[in-house]
Structure 1
Amino acid sequence: MDKKKIVMGAAIVAFSMMLSSFGFYFWQMVYSPNFLVEQDPKPLMIKTGSTFKDVQNTLYDRRYVNDLVSFSFLSKMMDYDELVKPGLYLIEPGMTNMQVIRMLRAGDQTEVNVTFNNARLLSDLPEKLTRNLEMTELQLAEWLLNDSIQSAYGFDSLSFIGMFIPNTYKMFWNIKPEDLLNRLKKEHDKFWTDERLQKAEQLGLTTNEVSVLASIVQAETIKSDERPIVAGVYLNRLKRGYPLQADPTLVFAAQDFAIKRVLNKHKQIDSPYNTYKYQGLPPGPINMPSITSIDAVLNYTEHKYLYFCAKEDFSGYHNFARNLIDHNRNAEKYQRALNKAGLYR
């Protein structure tokens, strides 16, 4: 046999084998599982400003990927190395290079839950809002505590906490402070439906005033079934021109949230939040009222009570009274219970 033909044949066979091997490797690179093989689903966080090298390091260091070389090669073929998008992505066990690259290239993020409640002060919100987000507390605080930004949303520094309706919201992990506030303003506007707005108008209150009263009701009782009754008491007092005389507003005015027992000295504090000294509603909420508390005001219980006092059994419920004589009797029973328990401040 001609020597040249033998060499040519061998070369063809070798080339065919190489082509076959490369084809098989390419098929594996595209379609074979390469992520979290035999592991649980895992979120991948790509920070704002990350480069492709940062992504590679994260995948390797945190053991997301079995074969980093194949991922990197295919990423460059698909131009992902030039199209890195920040965000939080959920990597499922057994995902292929192709699946992951397509997801990352498209910025197909997984949303996170942003849950917040029980904030006393506006300054408490940055920590609660950023718990599951990329932005820091400081970054959000720079927006949240800015007077001009508060004004742009139709609020001021005293009322701005009322824009935030406590709930759980789905958001992208890398949302920006401005977009976060825009989203929560939309949720506020969505919450105030025509029905709620009509009920507020019937009470003669603005939405901000409803939030202020709801915050007082919330501070007065932890019992959601009692809140409409408490709201009714305060609405009765407002209609009659009586000062609210709400103890929680004195605690807020003192800015001492460790106070367990309001004393006469607290009633002397000169503050617009002192509802013993000044008639009407204070200028802003004394906490971030919940949906339950806001709806308790809008759907208050009609009655003739003008006073209430915590029950002496410390159950969290209250004794209600139509007149001062009955109220003083209830208050005396509660004061005796406080003295017996050794609660003097």
Structure 2
Amino acid sequence: MYIKKILIGIVIIGLAVAAYIAYFVYGAMLKPNTAFNNDEAYLLIPTHANYSEVRGQLEPLLIDIDKFDALAEQKKYTTNVKAGRYIIKKGMSNNDIINTIRSQNKPIRIAFNNQETLAKLAGRIASQIEADSVSLIKAMTDKTFLSKNGFTKKTALGMYVPNSYEVYWNTSAETFRDKMLKEYDRFWNASRLAKAKQLNLTPDEVMTLASIVHEESKQASEQPRIAGVYLNRIRIGMPLQADPTIRYAAYQLPNYDGEIIKRVLNVHKEIDSPYNTYKYLGLPPGLIAMPDVSAIDAVLNAEKHDYFYFVADAKNIGFHKFSKTLSQHNANARAYHSYLNSQNIYN
């Protein structure tokens, strides 16, 4: 009888322990533990973050942070934090959350275009991924990297083809740069390389000319015609005489800092700079801005024609008038200058 009571007691204790374990497993592992009302919440865990930093982000998202702590400790997550961007879904259990932030780093899509300099590009990218602008510009201008891959600081901007790309939020500056080199090599496929060769231009030169074309016109429909004008000038040894290069040259000088040049004047054309295409023949030494893909392909597929001149069309703002002779061009230019005067634009 005594032994029977002992056995019953053991069974009762066993059941109690089992019930406690089941309660713990359900409460700590399987019970929904999210406190937010949206369908999803995002967690950005920085590189080298510790568990305390992760906990700080999770606490406002969870009903019971203590139970999460207990399970995180048991599953050894507290000493094995993974950087990245993670999506926590409404109704997830602690077990689901830990499994998610341990192994389901979600990529993001970043985008950039029309960045005038590497510094501005670095700032744009830094607003989208973990790497800061300082580390990005350092990676982008690394002399060893540029030399190894055939770029200079003046042509390096051309390596970044504007588009949207999928990367991980915690991508390092060097990893981002290396990915962009792969995308650049993919962009310059056999077809584009063959077209550049037919024009007797290198990819760097195509990008430089495309940057001028893009600054001349944002209208994709007329970019091939503008590209054709510049290629005609190059062919006969005529200076490019591209106003956007004059503006670029001026903006490098301290006395033009903060100014916006709306009208290129003779004084601007006297600036001594390799980017002054009124003074120096051929293409400038590098890009003056980041061209759209439309402008790059406009150069590679330039319109074949006999135009050597163009000027903004006062009657169709955003577009241009093209001419074959200097006399025609001068007449078109006078009309545009009259329009600028009527708008009180003198510099």
Which has the higher mean CA deviation after the structures are superposed, 123-132 or 190-199? 123-132
- Which residue matches 2:79? 82
Q: CA deviation at 1:144?
A: 2.1
- Which residue matches 1:127? 123
CA–CA separation in structure 1 for the residues paired with 2:17 and 2:135: 55
Match of 2:264 among 252, 262, 265: 262
- Which residue matches 2:293? 291
What is the 5 A alignment of 1:59-138? 59-60=58-59, 63-106=60-103, 108-138=104-134
- What SS does the aligned partner of 1:34 have? coil
- What SS does the aligned partner of 1:168 have? strand
- What SS does the aligned partner of 1:80 have? coil
Which has the higher mean CA deviation after the structures are superposed, 209-218 or 64-73? 64-73
- Which residue matches 1:277? 279
Q: CA deviation at 1:18?
A: 3.8
CA–CA separation in structure 1 for the residues paired with 2:177 and 2:96: 33
- What SS does the aligned partner of 2:78 have? helix
Identity of aligned residues (%): 38
Letter in 1 for 2:242: A
- What SS does the aligned partner of 2:276 have? coil
- Which residue matches 2:155? 159
- Which residue matches 1:148? 144
CA–CA separation in structure 2 for the residues paired with 1:86 and 1:150: 29
Quick check: 2:107–2:168 contact (8 Å CA) kept in 1?
yes
Q: Tell whether 2:209 aligns with 1:213.
A: yes
Q: CA deviation at 1:35?
A: 2.8
Letter in 2 for 1:34: N
CA–CA separation in structure 1 for the residues paired with 2:78 and 2:223: 57
- Which residue matches 1:335? 337
- What SS does the aligned partner of 2:33 have? strand
Match of 2:197 among 198, 201, 208: 201
Letter in 2 for 1:313: K
Quick check: 2:86–2:105 contact (8 Å CA) kept in 1?
yes
Q: CA deviation at 1:136?
A: 1.2
Deviations 1:199-230 (A, max 9, x none): 11111100000001000000101211110110
List alignment gaps of at least 5 residues for structure 2: none
Deviations 1:286-342 (A, max 9, x none): 101111110011111111100000011251110000000000000000000000110
Alpha-carbon RMSD across the aligned residues, in angstroms, is: 1.8
List alignment gaps of at least 5 residues for structure 1: none
Quick check: 2:212–2:242 contact (8 Å CA) kept in 1?
yes
Letter in 1 for 2:47: T
TM-score when normalising by structure 2? 0.93
TM-score when normalising by structure 1? 0.94
Q: CA deviation at 1:58?
A: 2.0
Q: Tell whether 2:23 aligns with 1:24.
A: yes
Match of 2:232 among 231, 236, 254: 236
CA–CA separation in structure 2 for the residues paired with 1:37 and 1:144: 40
Quick check: 1:273–1:282 contact (8 Å CA) kept in 2?
yes
- Which residue matches 2:302? 300
CA–CA separation in structure 1 for the residues paired with 2:159 and 2:230: 22
CA–CA separation in structure 2 for the residues paired with 1:263 and 1:135: 42
Quick check: 1:36–1:92 contact (8 Å CA) kept in 2?
no
Q: Tell whether 2:251 aligns with 1:252.
A: no
Deviations 1:34-91 (A, max 9, x none): 234543311101111111222222211xx22222222222222222222111111111
- What SS does the aligned partner of 2:44 have? strand
Q: Tell whether 2:189 aligns with 1:190.
A: no
- Which residue matches 1:58? 57
Which has the higher mean CA deviation after the structures are superposed, 128-137 or 279-288? 128-137
Quick check: 1:36–1:95 contact (8 Å CA) kept in 2?
no
CA–CA separation in structure 1 for the residues paired with 2:344 and 2:297: 36
CA–CA separation in structure 1 for the residues paired with 2:15 and 2:157: 71
Letter in 1 for 2:169: W
How many residue pairs match? The answer is 341
Letter in 2 for 1:304: D
